[in-house]
Structure 1
Amino acid sequence: MASKRTLNAKNLEALGAAALAELLIEVSGGNAVIQRRLRLALAAAEGVDGAVQEVRKRLTAIDRASTFVDSARRKALVADLEAQLQAIIGPIAAGDPRQACDLLLRFLELSEGVLARCTDTTGAVIGVFERGAEQLGPLAQAAQLEPETLAQDAAELLAENTYEQFDALVPALKDALGDWGLKLLGSYCRQHGAHDGNTHLLQIAVARGDVDGYLAQFTAEDLRWRDIAATVAQHLLTSGRAEQALEILDEATEDAAGFEDSQWHDSRIAVLEALNRQVEAQEMRWQWFSRTLSIPHLRDYLKRLEDFEDVEAEERALQVAEQHPISLLGLHFLVEWPALALAARHVLAHEDEWEGDAYAIHSAAAERLSKDYPLAATLLLRPMVFFALWMGRAKRYRYAAEQLRSCEQLAARIDDWQVHPDHSAYVERLYDIYGAKWGFWKLVER
C-alpha cells in the first residue's frame, strides 16, 4: 500500500480544496507558465467561451513576442504551447468544435514565427506543432468544416512550411477533405507556387488514389535516378501496377549513394516477387548479399530454398564473407551472423588491416569474441587504443584506457601469442611511442 505521503491524486485530494488552493498559489509564485495554466483552468471552469477567450489572448501574446528563446527557456515555451494545444483539442473541442478548429488554425499559424525565434535542437518545439497538425483533420470533421474552407486554410499553412512542421498535414486531412477537397487543395497549392515533384502535391495524389496524377509529378529526368525510381515503383506496386513499376526501375540508370541503391534493389525484388518471377528475385538477393553482405537479404534468400539447400547456401555465403574485398565488412557479417570461429580466423588472417577507426564494429566484435577467442579480441582492441593516441583524441582516452585494461584481462587466457607481442611487451612499446600522453596513462593507472 502506498504511503499517505506519496504524491498522487488521491492523497492530495485528502488535503481539501482550501489547502490545495493555498499550495497552488505558493508554487505558482514567480512561475509564469504555471500561472497561465491556472488561469486557463479557471477560465475553462466558467465554460467554453471563457476558455476560448483565454487561449485566444495567449496566442496573440505568443504571436507578438520577439524575444529569442534559447535552450534554457525552451522547456517553458514547450509547456506553454502544449497547454494551449491541450485546451483547444480538449475542453474547447468537446464544447464547441468549430471554435476549437478556428483556434487550432490560429495556433498552427504561429509556428513559423515561434520556430524562427527559438533554438530547437531537440525537436520539442516543432513536435508540438506537428501534433497540432495531426489533430486538424479530426477536429475539422467534428466541426463539419466545409472542404472548400479547409482546403484554403490548409494551403496557406503549407505555403508557410519552412521548418517542415506541416509535412504530415495532407495525410491527416485526407478524410476531412474528401476527394473534392483534396483536388481543391492541389489547385490552391499550385497557386501558392507549388510545382511538379512538390512533396505536398505528391501526398495529395496519393491521398486521392490518383496514380496517374502521382506519376505526372515526375519528369523523365527525375526517373533516371534510382532512388526516385524506387519510391515511385513502390507506389505503383501498392497500386497494382507491377509491370509498370518494373519498367520504371529498369529505365533508371543513375546511382545515388548506398542507401538509395539498396532501396532500388529492394523495390525491384518486391516487384519481381509480385510478378511471380521468384528465380530472378532470388538471383538479385544473392547478388546484393555478395556485394554488401546484407544479413536481411541473405536470410530472405535462405528461407526460400528447398530443404537442405539452405545449408549448402549458408556455407557458400560464409565463404563469400571471408573472401570479401572489404575485410571490415566481412568481420561485421561473421560476428553478427554469428560464425564466431570464422570471425576469429578472419581477424588473424587480416591482422594488419585493423586500423581502429571503426569503433562500433571493433568494439562489438571484440566483445563477442572475448569469451572463446581472446587473441582475436585483443587484436581488435589494440588498434582502437593506438588510434586514439595517434590521433590525440583526448575525449577518447577514457575508452582507450578501458580497452587496454580489457587487453590485460584477456592476456591471462592467451597461451599462444603466435607472432604477436604479449601484453607487457605491447604496453612497453605503446609507452615508448606515446609516453608523453600523460592524460591517457593517468587514466590507465586508475
Structure 2
Amino acid sequence: MARKTSLSLEALVGLGSEKLAQIILDEATANAPFRKKVNAALAGAKGADAVAALIDRRLAALEKARAMVAWEKEKDFAADLAATVETIVKELAAADAALAVERLLRFIDTHATVFERIDDSSGRIQDVYWRAAQAAPDLAAKMPDDQRAGLIKPLTKSLGVDTHGLGAGVAIALAPLLPEAALAAWERTLKGAGDDDRTVSVRQAIADARGDLDHFLALEAQRPDWRQEPLRAAEKLFAAGRLDEALSWARREHRGGFAYAIETDIAEGRISRPHDLQRVDLEARILEAQGDRKAAQALRWQAFETTLNPGPLRAYLKKLGDFEEDDEVARAFAHVEASPNIYLALAFFAGWPRLDLAAKLVLAHAGRWEGRHYGALGTTGGALEEAHPLAASILYRALLDDILARGKSQAYGHGARYLAKLGMLSANISDWRTLDDHIAYGQTLRKTHGRKFGFWSLTEAKPKR
C-alpha cells in the first residue's frame, strides 16, 4: 500500500524549481490574492524600493476607490486587503521597517472610506484592519531610534481621519517607542488639535510615556464625567506611591462604562458593573498599603455579602491568619445559604465548588426554581448529576416544565433531552422525599401536556393521537 504523501519543505524542494514554478504560475493565474503575494515576492528580490512601489500602487487605487463592493465579492475583497497587509508586514518590513510602517499607516487610514463601501456584516474587513493596527508596534520597534521621530506626522494625520478608533489605537501603542523630544513636540501639536476623546487618550499615552503622571491626571479631569476612568487613574497613583490621592480617585463615582447581566443577575433582576468589584479590590489594596488592614478586610467582606461573588471572599480569606480561615469560611457559607438571592447562592456553591451545599440549596427551595433561567440551572444540573441526582432532577424538571408550559416548540429538543436525563437519574434515587417519583411525574406530564405532539415525537414515550 502506498504511503500517504504529505506536504513538507523537503518534499516540495524535491519537486524541482521548474515544476514548483509552474504550480505557482497556475495558482497565481486563478487566485488574485495569491498572485499579489507572488508579485510581492518577485519585487522583494529587487529590493525595498521595488516592494514599496508595488504597495504604493495598491494603496493609491484603494485610496481613490469609491464604488460600492457587492456583498458576493466581500470575501475576495477581504483576501485582497489581507494580501496587501501581508506584503507590507512580511516583504517590505524585512527590507526596510520605516518604509513598512509608513505604508501600514497609509493602509489603516483607508478604513473610513472602505467601511462605507461595503456591508461588512461578517466582520472580515474590519478584522483585516485591526490586524494591521496590531502589527504596527512590532514594525515600529524594528525602526532605528533616529527614524521614529518621523512617525509623528503620519500618526497625527491618522488621528484626523480616524472613525473607528484604529488611528488612536495605533498612536497610543506607538507612543512608548518615540524619543522624548518627539513626544514633547507631539504633545504641543495635539494640544491645539481639540479636546475630543481620542485626542485626549493619545495625549494621555504621551504623558504616560514621558512619566508625567500629573499631566495624565489633569487630562483625565478634563474629560466629561461619563468618560472618566477613575480606577485607571487610581491604579497609576497607587503604583507611584501617592496613596491618599489614589484612594480619593478610587472612591470617585464611576458614571460611565458598561453594565452587563449574567444568568444569575437576570434571575435576580439586577445588573452588574465590572468596575464595582475592581474598585473594591483596588481600594482594599490601597487601605492595606496605608496600614488600615481592618478597613480593607471590612470592605472585602461587605462586597462579598452584597454580591455573593467569590472573588472578594477569596481575597478576604487570603489575608486571614492560619487559624481564622475555617471559621470565616463557615460564616460565609451560612450567609450564602440564608440569602434570599437563591440563584446567586446556587452559582456561588456550584462555582466554589461545594456541590453538597448546592444540592442542599436546591432541595430547600424545590418549588421556587424557574426554568426560564436555563443558563443558571442547566450547568449546575449537569454538575450535580453524579453525586446528587435528586437535586439535579429538580433543576431538570424546572427546565422541562417551563418549556412545556410556555409551549416553546423551538426548545422541544432540549426538553426531550431533559426528560431522558430524568429517566436515567431516577434509577439512582431511592428517596424522593416530598416529590413525585419519576413515573408519577411522567404521568402528570402526559396529562397536562399530552397534546404537545411535537415534543412527544422527540421522546421514547409517544402517546397516541
Same fold, TM-score > 0.5, yes or no:
yes
Q: 1:301 to 1:7 in 2, by over 3 A?
A: same
CA positional deviation for 1:366 = 1.0
Measured against aligned partners, the alpha-carbon deviations of 1:69-89 in whole angstroms (never above 9, x if no partner) come to: 577644433432332223223
Percentage of pairs with the same residue: 32
Q: 1:3 to 1:59 in 2, by over 3 A?
A: farther
Report the AA paired with residue 305 of structure 1.
L
Distance in 2 (alpha carbons) for counterparts of 1:395 and 1:178: 61
Measured against aligned partners, the alpha-carbon deviations of 1:227-249 in whole angstroms (never above 9, x if no partner) come to: 83323212221222121111233
Give the aligned partner of residue 303 of structure 1: 318
CA positional deviation for 1:279 = 1.7
Give the aligned partner of residue 89 of structure 1: 89
Give the aligned partner of residue 166 of structure 1: 167
Distance in 2 (alpha carbons) for counterparts of 1:386 and 1:337: 28
Task: Say whether residues 1:236 and 2:251 are aligned partners.
Answer: no
Task: Say whether residues 1:36 and 2:41 are aligned partners.
Answer: no
Distance in 2 (alpha carbons) for counterparts of 1:302 and 1:70: 59
Distance in 1 (alpha carbons) for counterparts of 2:222 and 2:196: 16
| Larger CA deviation: 422-431 vs 62-71 | 62-71
Give the aligned partner of residue 423 of structure 1: 438
CA positional deviation for 1:444 = 2.2
Distance in 2 (alpha carbons) for counterparts of 1:298 and 1:230: 21
Matched residue SS, 1:443 = coil
Measured against aligned partners, the alpha-carbon deviations of 1:193-233 in whole angstroms (never above 9, x if no partner) come to: 3347833333332232221112112348956x798332321
Q: 1:327 to 1:148 in 2, by over 3 A?
A: same
Equivalent residue runs for 1:425-440 within 5 Å: 425-440=440-455
Task: Say whether residues 1:156 and 2:171 are aligned partners.
Answer: no
Q: 1:117 to 1:438 in 2, by over 3 A?
A: farther
Matched residue SS, 1:445 = coil
Give the aligned partner of residue 64 of structure 1: 64
CA positional deviation for 1:124 = 4.3
Q: 1:222 to 1:66 in 2, by over 3 A?
A: closer
Q: 1:296 to 1:98 in 2, by over 3 A?
A: closer
Report if the CA contact (8 A) 1:151-1:188 is conserved. Answer: no
Distance in 1 (alpha carbons) for counterparts of 2:328 and 2:36: 67
Task: Say whether residues 1:358 and 2:373 are aligned partners.
Answer: yes
Task: Say whether residues 1:193 and 2:208 are aligned partners.
Answer: no
CA positional deviation for 1:392 = 3.9
Q: 1:167 to 1:255 in 2, by over 3 A?
A: closer
Q: 1:255 to 1:274 in 2, by over 3 A?
A: farther
Q: 1:352 to 1:180 in 2, by over 3 A?
A: farther
Q: Give unpaired runs (5+ residues) of structure 2.
A: 260-271
Give the aligned partner of residue 208 of structure 2: 206
CA positional deviation for 1:120 = 4.2
Give the aligned partner of residue 299 of structure 2: 284
Report if the CA contact (8 A) 1:108-1:129 is conserved. Answer: yes
Which of 326, 337, 354 is residue 339 of structure 1 equivalent to? 354
Give the aligned partner of residue 279 of structure 2: 264
Distance in 2 (alpha carbons) for counterparts of 1:172 and 1:57: 28
Matched residue SS, 2:315 = helix
Report if the CA contact (8 A) 1:40-1:54 is conserved. Answer: yes
CA positional deviation for 1:311 = 0.5
Give TM-score, length-normalised by structure 1. 0.89
Equivalent residue runs for 1:117-136 within 5 Å: 117-121=117-121, 123-136=123-136
Distance in 1 (alpha carbons) for counterparts of 2:98 and 2:232: 38
| Larger CA deviation: 34-43 vs 279-288 | 34-43
| Larger CA deviation: 409-418 vs 200-209 | 200-209
Q: 1:226 to 1:34 in 2, by over 3 A?
A: closer
Matched residue SS, 2:100 = helix
Q: 1:113 to 1:195 in 2, by over 3 A?
A: closer
Coordinate RMSD, CA, aligned: 2.9
Report the AA paired with residue 39 of structure 1.
N
| Larger CA deviation: 419-428 vs 196-205 | 196-205
Distance in 2 (alpha carbons) for counterparts of 1:317 and 1:226: 36
Give the aligned partner of residue 183 of structure 2: 182
Give the aligned partner of residue 26 of structure 2: 26
Distance in 1 (alpha carbons) for counterparts of 2:174 and 2:289: 31
Report if the CA contact (8 A) 1:374-1:413 is conserved. Answer: yes
Matched residue SS, 2:248 = helix
CA positional deviation for 1:37 = 1.9
Q: 1:118 to 1:391 in 2, by over 3 A?
A: farther
Report if the CA contact (8 A) 1:147-1:176 is conserved. Answer: yes
Q: 1:228 to 1:144 in 2, by over 3 A?
A: closer
Which of 409, 412, 435 is residue 427 of structure 2 equivalent to? 412
CA positional deviation for 1:341 = 1.9
Report if the CA contact (8 A) 2:85-2:132 is conserved. Answer: yes
| Larger CA deviation: 107-116 vs 297-306 | 107-116
Report if the CA contact (8 A) 1:88-1:103 is conserved. Answer: yes
CA positional deviation for 1:38 = 2.0
Task: Say whether residues 1:384 and 2:399 are aligned partners.
Answer: yes
Distance in 1 (alpha carbons) for counterparts of 2:383 and 2:71: 40
Q: 1:89 to 1:264 in 2, by over 3 A?
A: same
Which of 349, 374, 382 is residue 364 of structure 2 equivalent to? 349
Report the AA paired with residue 401 of structure 1.
A
Give the aligned partner of residue 249 of structure 1: 250
Report if the CA contact (8 A) 1:335-1:365 is conserved. Answer: yes
Give the aligned partner of residue 112 of structure 1: 112
CA positional deviation for 1:138 = 5.1
Measured against aligned partners, the alpha-carbon deviations of 1:323-372 in whole angstroms (never above 9, x if no partner) come to: 11200111111122122222111111111221012223212211121112
Report if the CA contact (8 A) 2:221-2:228 is conserved. Answer: no
Distance in 2 (alpha carbons) for counterparts of 1:267 and 1:436: 57
Task: Say whether residues 1:325 and 2:327 are aligned partners.
Answer: no
Give the aligned partner of residue 417 of structure 2: 402
